[in-house]
Every structure is written in C-alpha cells, then in structure tokens.
Amino acid sequence: MATPPVFTAGAVLTAAQMNAIGGWLLSSGSMGTSTTKTVDNVFTSDYDNYYIIIQGLKQAGTTNSLQWRTGGATNTTSNYAYGRSYQDTSAMAWEAGSTGTTSLPLGSTVATVDYSFEMLVTTPFATNQTQGWFRQVSNNTTPVAWFGWNIFKATTSFDGFIFTTGGNMSAGTYRVYGLRN
C-alpha cells in the first residue's frame, strides 16, 4: 500500500485524506536580486507552527539576518534573543548569543556559494513569544554549518518576515509551510 495521502487527478478526497497532510505550502518563489526578501501574510491563526526553507541562495555578501513583520511593518525593537554554533571540517564552536538585538543574525556564509537555510517557527501569529530553531549550510571549499535558536521576547503577533543579506542575491528560492497541529 502506498503511503497516504496519495492523490490522483480527478479523485474526490475524503476528510481523512485531507487531515493526513502534515504541511501545507503557503508561499514560495524566487529570492530576487536585492538584499532583502519580504514575505508577508503567511502566518495566520490556521497554524501554530511553520517551516521556512531557503535553497540555492547565492549572494554578494557574507551575512544574513531575519526580522518578524506585522501588517507590512518590520519589527526593529530590541526583543530578539538568539544563540548559535557552527561547525566546519576542522572545528566546532559555540558563539555567544544575545538577549537584546534588533534582528536575528543567522550564520555567516561565503559570498557567491550555494547557501541553504531552514527554520522551524512556533506560534508567530499567536500573542505569545515567537520561538524558532534554524540550521544552515554554506557549500564552500570548507563547508560550514550553523545551528541556532531564537526567541522574540515580547508577546507580539506576526504575519510575515524579512530575510536580509549583506549583498545582493543572485539565485535562490524560498518556501513557507504551515504545519498541522
């Protein structure tokens, strides 16, 4: 038996089949060619948890960050807290985080190489502290992987995010999934 759900063209789907789906694609597209990618109106009360994926990103800079958004406005308050570590082929280190920054600094990368990023985000739309866990990989002559956590310390409802790089992007795609409760 095939792993459900298996859909065929023209088939009528039952509630049980629809309820078996774990994640729904809510938004996807190109990362564009500027230093920012804004994704608004993706976090709603329909889901408590979300999964953000960025693949094949190439950029001119070496830094990346993320900020939450509400109603088209970026939240720049000092309520972002984070911690992160990195590992390459020769070392692993914990980098001291912060409890009061105006954005979530993600791991650095090497300019013009493929970069992939994913983040699990919990309760961004609810009036709770938004939390997340991320990992990313830069494909370089010495590949580097970053792992980290983040918390927005205020109880704010968010409906989107902005991903910012240190230089113009030249390739890459993003996807945002809502995860069933």
* 91 is a domain residue: yes
Residue 1 belongs to a domain: no
Strands (DSSP E) contained in the chain are: 23-30, 36-39, 49-59, 64-70, 73-74, 80-87, 92-101, 104-105, 115-122, 131-138, 144-152, 160-165, 169-179
Look at residue 9 and tell me if it is in a domain: no
Q: Residue 94 domain-assigned?
A: yes
Looking up residue 99, the CATH number of its domain turns out to be 2.60.120
Tens digits of residue pLDDT in 68-79: 999 999 999 999
- Which range of residues forms the domain containing residue 100? 21-179
Q: pTM score, two decimals? A: 0.87
74 occurs within a structural domain: yes
Structural domain count, the chain: 1
Flag whether 126 is in a domain.
Answer: yes
Q: Does 4 reside within a domain?
A: no
The pLDDT of residue 112: 64
